[in-house]
Amino acid sequence: MRAVPRVLCIMFREAGPATSLPEASSVRWWLQRLGLFALREPLDEAEDWAWIIDHSIQLGDTKVCVVLGLRLSQLPLPGQALRHEDMRTLAVLPVQSSTGEIVAEQLEEVAARTGIPRQIVSDRGSDVKKGGELFAARHAGIALLADAAHHGACLLKRRLKPDSHWSAFVARLGQTKASIQQTSDAHLLAPSLRPKARYMNLGPLLKWSRRVLELLDRGTEGGVASARAEARYGWLREYRVSLEQWSRCEATVRCGVVFFRTRGVYVGCAEELATELSLLSAKDYDADLAQEWLAYARTSSASARPGERLVASTEVIESVFGKWKSLERQASRSGITSYVLSLGALVGSWPLSRIKTALEATPVKHVVAWIEENLPTTVQSQRRLAFSTSVNKTQPND
């Protein structure tokens, strides 16, 4: 936020002495006011809304349930993934506990804005899965779909987790990383596996492994680079066959994820997916996983009506979460803070007319009231209170 007034100072450096430029805190209030307006803005009630639901949690016990939506009649053309500007923020609901029953009631709140949706897509976490099923049981005609990327990650997990070679490979990489990360060979470090959702992000690691093997195979022709790789990663040769197998699995899963991310689910999608998979080369094709994808396509497309295309990916909401966390930076150490309201401002199209309407309709006092009603005391505030030297003695001890 501090960058905004600095940029304005550059742009208006020749302005008169009466010119007043906003502070960083003003920019934050603007974002929060836009976000709150997005949560209260009237929306068209229609039968073709698609909802994408997910939870995010940072520090502490507060998590936020976020629902994004768009009309199926306004989906991007086949071949294009959902973008932030395609979406609308339907709900931002901080909670300290979440069950299927709670999620179902939250979905009822969202339905008051858009009407009953045509579909709900999620990563099928236990509370979201149960909540969606309870909600769908009350309202006929709702298609409940599982996110294709999470399904693909589950396919990889089932294949790799029981493989002793895989666990040994990951352990060996960790040992090598610890031994070279502060040496002149740090440029040879392998990409890190994420602590969460690691089976969704194997591509870079497997690609790096194949490139190191190519470097090792050059031998003396690779010069110093090959010699240094040999000293650090000569053991990778033991996993050559396994790496080929794992790479086939990852490539097959990635093909399916890209297909569903950019095309969705529709009647006949299994046949088109089969064609896409058949175009993979032998080194990128795993027959068993291809069959798993086709089974997913048939099951999911059974919910689609003729001529209808449903959403099969929650990656857009994961991307929005990443944008929000990048925006708040150090504030994330305080758990879910008032920055969560910016989620409403981060998606959708914001022409000047909408910005003007939003700021006129949403004063700061409305934001303050929403924060007081929906957000508990932040972790940082609790920390200050806990270590304060002037404790209010009239308060009971916790």
Single out the residue in 287, 313, 339 at which a domain terminates: 313
Report which of 349, 355, 305 is spatially closest to residue 34, judged by C-alpha positions.
355
Instruction: Determine whether 194 is exposed, middle or buried from the number of CB atoms within 10 Å of its CB (0-12, 13-18, 19+).
Output: exposed
Single out the residue in 294, 313, 332 at which a domain terminates: 313
Question: Are residues 153 and 130 part of one domain?
Answer: no
pLDDT digits (tens, 9 = 90+) for 120-140: 999 888 889 999 999 999 999
Rounded distance between C-alpha atoms, residue 330 and residue 149, angstroms? 29
**How much is the average pLDDT of 79-86?**
94
**Tokens standing for residue 246:** 């794992």
Rounded distance between C-alpha atoms, residue 27 and residue 207, angstroms? 42
Rounded distance between C-alpha atoms, residue 110 and residue 40, angstroms? 11
Question: Are residues 321 and 284 part of one domain?
Answer: no
Question: Are residues 337 and 309 part of one domain?
Answer: no
pLDDT band at 61, cuts 50/70/90? low
**Tokens standing for residue 378:** 């932040």
CB atoms within 10 A of CB 229: 21
Single out the residue in 313, 342, 357 at which a domain terminates: 313
Question: Are residues 101 and 84 part of one domain?
Answer: yes
**How much is the average pLDDT of 66-82?**
94
Ordered DSSP codes for 270-339 = HHHHHHHHHTS-GGG--HHHHHHHHHHHHHHHTTPPTT-EE----HHHHHHHHHHHHHHGGGGGGSS-GG
pLDDT digits (tens, 9 = 90+) for 156-199: 999 999 999 999 999 999 999 888 888 888 888 888 887 666 67
324 in Cβ contact with 343 (< 8 Å): yes
Question: Are residues 321 and 173 part of one domain?
Answer: no
Q: What's the confidence (pLDDT) of residue 393?
A: 46
Q: What's the confidence (pLDDT) of residue 2?
A: 82
Question: Are residues 189 and 140 part of one domain?
Answer: no
Beta bridge partners of 144: 120
Q: Does the residue 219 lie in any domain?
A: yes
pLDDT band at 397, cuts 50/70/90? very low
Q: Does the residue 345 lie in any domain?
A: yes
35 in Cβ contact with 28 (< 8 Å): no
User: What is the DSSP code (8-state) at residue 61?
Assistant: S
User: What is the DSSP code (8-state) at residue 53?
Assistant: E
pLDDT digits (tens, 9 = 90+) for 2-38: 888 888 888 887 766 777 788 888 888 999 999 999 9
CATH number of the domain that residue 138 is part of: 3.30.420.10
Q: Does the residue 135 lie in any domain?
A: yes
Determine phi and psi for 25, rounding to 5 degrees: -65, -30
pLDDT digits (tens, 9 = 90+) for 244-297: 999 999 999 999 999 999 999 999 999 999 999 999 999 999 999 999 999 999
Q: What's the confidence (pLDDT) of residue 398?
A: 40
Rounded distance between C-alpha atoms, residue 191 and residue 187, angstroms? 11
State how many domains the chain has.
2
Rounded distance between C-alpha atoms, residue 90 and residue 94, angstroms? 13
pTM: 0.85
The residue segments making up the domain with residue 355 are 25-147+315-386
pLDDT digits (tens, 9 = 90+) for 329-341: 655 555 678 888 9
